[in-house]
Amino acid sequence: MQGAVICARALAVAEVCRHLLGRYRGIWAMAWRILLACAALVLVYSIVAARHFWELALLAGDRGMELSIAAVVVAVLLFARYYDVQASAADRSLAVGFCLYSCFCVLNNTILEHYLHRYGALWNLLGMLAFLASLLLWTWALRKPQTEIVPEETLLSPVIYQTVAPQVNLRLRSLNDQLSKIWKPEVTRQ
């Protein structure tokens, strides 16, 4: 059941990422690939770092997923900042809540791995407190109904389009010819 909950949280983080960057098709096209690669690399690293201690495999897998979630949240917030994407307060609070909870779980699982027997009761208490803090952040973020922001499409007037389009087409054709010379020199020699 814990794996299902973590996967559900990972899907929720993916939805927050899509909500933050999805309005910008170019940024989102690049970002989702980088975020997925980042999550996969962190997960693989976590599995390799477990050093084949099979009795702690569930704990290592949990830590890897939590670390992946935290890395994706940090990366998407960095994307948003770098590309100057305006994120709503609700989106930021949701993302920070997911990151806070995942970071605490990583820290908690790391400590639990080393002090399994002496730390059990405190581990449950601290995990519940981290969840409640994240839940408060999420509740605060979603206290008001959210509306979907639809980006405005601004089209050029037909006069401007008729003036600019031939110039753009000429530059694209020139760029295509130059790239063809670079990538296929044997074709241009004929």
What is 80-143 written as a DSSP string? HHHTT----HHHHHHHHHHHHHHHHHHHHHHHHHHSTTTSHHHHHHHHHHHHHHHHHHHHHHTS
Neighbours of 37 (CB within 10 A): 11
Q: Can you tell me whether residue 145 is helix, strand or coil?
A: coil
8 Å CB contact between 75 and 16: no
User: Which of 55, 74, 101 shows the shortest CA–CA distance to 16?
Assistant: 74
Give, for all 190 residues of the chain, the pLDDT tens digit.
677 887 888 888 889 888 888 887 777 888 888 888 988 888 787 777 766 666 666 777 778 888 888 999 999 999 888 888 888 888 888 899 899 989 988 887 777 777 766 766 777 787 788 888 888 888 888 888 777 766 677 777 788 878 887 888 788 777 677 766 776 655 444 4
Fill in the DSSP letter of residue 155: P
What are the structure tokens assigned to 188, written together? Answer: 């241009």
User: Which of 79, 105, 104 shows the shortest CA–CA distance to 2?
Assistant: 105
Q: What is the pTM of this model?
A: 0.61
8 Å CB contact between 98 and 13: yes
What integer pLDDT is reported at residue 74 of this predicted model? 92
What integer pLDDT is reported at residue 89 of this predicted model? 84
Sign of CA dihedral 108, 110, 111, 115: positive
8 Å CB contact between 60 and 46: yes
Q: Can you tell me whether residue 144 is helix, strand or coil?
A: coil
The C-alpha atoms of residue 25 and residue 23 are separated, in whole angstroms, by: 6
8 Å CB contact between 67 and 7: no
8 Å CB contact between 27 and 21: yes
8 Å CB contact between 104 and 125: no
